[in-house]
Amino acid sequence: MVGDSGWRRTATLMVFILPSLIPLIMFTLGPMAASAFISLLRWDLLRPARFIGLTNYANVLSDPDFRAAVMHTLVFILGYLPLVYLGGLGLALLVNQKLRGSSFFRSAFFLPVVTSWVVVALVWRWLLNPQTGVVNAALGAVGIAGPGWWTDPAWALPSIILASAWKDLGFVMVILLAGLQAIPTEYYEAGEVDGAGRWARFRHITMPLLSSSSFFVLVISLINSFQVFDQVWVMTGGGPAGASSVVVEQIVRHAFSYNQMGYASAMSWVLFAAILVVTVFQFRLQRRWVNYV
Partner 1 sequence: MSDAPFAPRATAHATVSGRPTATRHLWRAVAYLALVVLAMAMLFPFAWMVATSLTSDAQLFVTPPQLIPSPMEPDNYGRVANLFPLGRFLANSLFVAAISTTLQVTTSALAAYAFSRLRFRGRDALFVVYLATLMVPMQVTIVPLFIEMRYLGLVNSYPGLLLPGIVSVFGTFLLRQAFLALPREMEEAAFIDGAGHWTVFRRIVVPLSLPAMATFAIFAFMASWNAFLWPLVVISSQDLMTLPVGLSNLQGQYSTAWNLVMAGATVSVIPILVVYVLAQRYVIRGVTLSGIKG
**Contact positions with partner 1 (CB under 8 A) in 117-146:** 117-120, 122-127, 129, 131-132, 134, 137, 141
Min dist. Cβ of residue 101 to partner 1 (A): 8
269 binding partner 1? (CB under 8 A): yes
H/E run at residue 291? none
The site string for partner 1 over 180-219 (x = CB under 8 A, - otherwise) reads ------------x-----------------------x---
Q: Which amino acid is at 161?
A: I
**Segment near partner 1 (CB under 8 A), from 68-76, 87-95, 150-158, 285-293?**
87-95
> Which three-class secondary structure state does DSSP give residue 142?
coil
Q: How far is the CB of 236 from partner 1 (least distance, A)?
A: 12
DSSP assignment letter at 205:
I
Q: Could you tell me the smallest distance in angstroms from the CB atom of residue 6 to partner 1?
A: 11
Comparison of 61 and 276: residue with beta carbon closer to partner 1: 276
Q: Is 281 in the site for partner 1 (CB under 8 A)?
A: no
Cβ-in-10-Å burial (0-12, 13-18, 19+) of 260 comes to buried
- Output the DSSP codes for 4-60: --HHHHHHHHHHHHHHHHHHHIIIIIHHHHHHHHHTTEE--SSSPPEE-TTHHHHHH
> Considering beta carbons, is residue 120 or 209 the nearer one to partner 1?
120
Q: Are 83 and 161 in contact (CB under 8 A)?
A: yes
Task: Count residues near partner 1 (CB under 8 A).
Answer: 91
Among residues 40, 77, 91, 290, which is the contact residue for partner 1, using CB under 8 A? 91
> Whole-angstrom Cα distance, residue 4 to residue 10?
10
If one asks whether residue 171 binds partner 1 (CB under 8 A), the answer comes out as yes
Q: How many CB atoms lie within 10 A of CB 97?
A: 7
Question: Which of 71, 42, 78, 79 is closest to 57 using CA atoms?
Answer: 42
Does 253 bind partner 1 (CB under 8 A)? Our answer is no
Using CB under 8 A as the binding rule, the residues of this chain from 48 to 77 that contact partner 1 are: none
User: 292 phi and psi, to 5 degrees?
Assistant: -105, 130
Q: How far is the CB of 64 from partner 1 (least distance, A)?
A: 21
Among 113, 205, 218, 243, binds partner 1 (CB under 8 A): 113
C-beta of 154: minimal distance to partner 1 in Å?
A: 22
Query: From the list 74, 75, 94, 205, which residue makes contact with partner 1 (rule: CB under 8 A)?
Result: 94
Question: Of 66 and 124, which has the nearer Cβ to partner 1?
Answer: 124
CA 48/CA 50 separation, integer angstroms: 6
- The residue within the footprint of partner 1, chosen from 275, 278, 282, 286 (CB under 8 A), is 275
Give the span between the Cα atoms of 279 and 47, in whole angstroms. 38
Give exposure, 45-60, as e/b (b: 16+ Cβ within 10 Å).
eeeeeeeeeebbbebb
Mark the segment that binds partner 1 (CB under 8 A) among 52-60, 64-72, 101-109, 280-288. 101-109
Q: Which of 5, 6, 15, 64 binds partner 1 (CB under 8 A)?
A: 15
Would you say 221 and 85 are in contact if contact means Cβ atoms under 8 Å apart? yes
